[in-house]
Amino acid sequence: MVLSPHLTRSRIACLLSALAIIGSAQSVAVRWTSIPASQSGISWRHENGKSADRHLPETVGAGVAIFDYDGDGWMDIFFVNSGPADFYKPPIALRHALYRNNHDGTFRDVTARAGLTGTGGFGMGAAAADYDGDGHTDLLVTQYGENRLFRNNGDGTFADVTRTAGIAGQGWWTSAVWFDYDRDGKLDLFIANYVDYRKDLVKLCFDMNLKVSAYCVPRMFSPTASRLYHNEGNGTFQDVSQATGIATYAGKAFGAVATDINGDGWADLFVASDMAPNALFLNHEGRRFEDIGLASGVAYSEAGEPRSGMGVDAVDYDGDGRQDLFVANIDQQYFALYRNRGDLQFTEEPGQVRRDTRLLSGWGLKFFDMDNDGDADLLLANGHPDDMIARRMPSVTYAEPLLLFENREGTFINVSAAAGPVFQQRWNARGLAIGDLDNDGDSDVVIGINGGAPLVLRNETGNRRNWVGIRLRPRRSNPAAEGAVIQWTTAHGTWRRLRTGGGSFLSSHDSRELLGLGQDSSARIEVKWPTGQVTRQDAVKAGQYVEIAEPLP
């Protein structure tokens, strides 16, 4: 359990002692079930375009998005596929896939009706948000090639507005983050750019020991600048990458998350880079960003080396009121949990997460409350990018296991062995999205598999503890309520959660918030909106989704 940082030390000690007794008698071991296509109706598979030439983009996809595209209160799923590129011509037409939730544990393919069939590029990831504030969730698809922005028409269809919106441009775009960096009430857009990769620039690599073609390592390619687009409020965006300082950082960007590392109310940006220093962009009141990654201790490993940063997330995992950071790396480099010490300084924490990830390569990941006890647990999706890695390094495998860590009073414990058969198998996992697919009060998982069928994991036991789900309805703040602080209090404690933007890898999560109540049957909920206004609801009963609206001025 994560306690309010405002409790005194003596009260914390007494409360923890009491809760240890309660928790030991009411512990919930969360198990997951992998739902086969025959039950879910999801028959789509990712095509990675693997070829004898071994082009690097083959190794990166696929992303997923969980969002309610038709506004019926049930989460739908979008899967990103590859497509035509300068190095790849699909033998058959490929398509992304949108599956509508049938409210009974099954899904129906509505891709064609929604107008989302064509890829128009080699797809990477997805980011869903209501960027124009009309009440309908829109969809951005990042690609190797040119991004695609789809506006939700509100009638079950989408319109491609990429050109008119002003975000067109060639690159190798990966993760994207919708967030309100200048607090004007509109969602702006950060898009991570990986490396300068074009077929006419690529020199094919060869493994002399194995006598086969090989994937070229990222250090062979030049870094590129990511993009920040300001939402103009009229359906268009202005590129402010140079003006804000984002473009001064040339990295090899994969994952990104918007969070507030110093508690000043302005969204900062943590960006993972592959064999280049990670960036931590400090937001100076919406005017400019300053990269403090090196000074804060998150740019390099403890040995001063750049690592292969891929998936990222941010959360206050230890309840001290400060946002901590996490980044997944490739094998031999360890995944990094950075504890926020305050004063813009972070410390890389040891522990089971670091120990158990030494031989793994991490992509999609998420902090979320899997068992509704109020604190943030951690799920990691892994898989090596090189399908020949076992021939080079016998201790490392191409397909890798998922990892699940339970947060026990600020310490992460590996509980994968007890989480179900799916955690005993190995996968070439990439994107990961979290959402309550069956509206039963616990978080389910969708994972993109590179070159294969996705995983849909149902949380079987997380809702044995009580919960309240909330749908935030901003009226003056940005439509995603990014930057809002949610606080809920029960008879046994107080928890806080900052609503971040982005996170994971190439993926987008359920926009609702699940608040764990433990064994308590009600909670007092307070939302502090980005505008500074506060909404309070007392005695909210467990076991339901409720809407919380921002007050009008």
DSSP string, 410-444: TEEEE-GGGS-GGGGS-B-EEEEEEE-TTSSSS-E
Predicted pLDDT at 117:
84
pLDDT value at position 28? Answer: 66
Edge-first strand listing for the sheet containing 513-518: 513-518, 466-473, 544-549
Does residue 215 register a pLDDT over 80?
A: yes
Query: 511: closest CA among 541, 478, 534?
Result: 478
d(CA 198, CA 361): 25
pLDDT confidence bin for 204, thresholds 50/70/90:
confident
Assess whether pLDDT exceeds 60 at residue 1. no
- Give the integer Cα–Cα distance in Å for 69 and 155: 10
What are 137-173's pLDDT values in tens digits? Answer: 999 999 999 999 999 999 999 999 999 999 988 999 9
Whether the pLDDT of residue 518 is over 80: the answer is: yes
Per-residue 3-state assignment (H helix, E strand, C coil) for 336-352: EEEEEEECCEEEECCCH
3-state secondary structure of 133: coil
* Sheet with 403-408, edge to edge strand ranges: 362-368, 377-382, 403-408, 411-414
For 290-347, write each residue's pLDDT tens digit. Answer: 999 999 999 999 999 999 999 999 999 999 999 999 999 999 999 999 999 999 999 9
Contacts 24+ apart (CB under 8 A), 270-274: 270/298, 270/312, 270/314, 270/325, 270/327, 271/192, 271/226, 271/312, 272/309, 272/310, 272/311, 272/312, 272/327, 272/328, 273/223, 273/306, 273/309, 274/194, 274/195, 274/218, 274/308, 274/309, 274/310
Identify the pLDDT of residue 27.
52
Strands 485-490 and 411-414: unpaired
Residues in the chain: 553
pLDDT greater than 50 at residue 3: no
Q: What is the pLDDT of residues 217-269, one digit of tens each?
A: 898 999 999 999 999 999 999 999 999 999 999 999 999 999 999 999 999 99
Angle at 34 between CA 30 and CA 39, to 5 degrees: 130
In contact, 316 and 498? CB cutoff 8 Å = yes
Can you give the pLDDT at residue 377?
98
Task: Write down the pLDDT at residue 209.
Answer: 86
- The model's pTM is 0.94
Report pLDDT for 553. 79
Position 14 confidence tier, pLDDT thresholds 50, 70, 90: very low
What's the whole-number mean pLDDT along residues 56-66? 97
pLDDT(61) > 60: yes
DSSP E strands in 180-293: the ranges are: 188-193, 205-207, 212-214, 224-225, 227-231, 237-239, 250-251, 253-259, 268-273, 279-284, 288-291
Residue 501 has pLDDT above 90, yes or no: yes
Least confident of 5-19, 261-275, 414-428, 473-487: 5-19
With pLDDT > 90 as the criterion, what percentage of the chain qualifies? Answer: 90
> Locate tokens 């994107």: which residue?
431
| Tokens of residue 360, six digits | 């793994």
Q: Is it the case that residue 130 has pLDDT exceeding 80?
A: yes
CA atoms within 13 A on the CB side of 432: 32
Q: For the chain, give the mean pLDDT.
A: 93
d(CA 202, CA 54): 11
Strands 513-518 and 522-528, how do they pair? unpaired
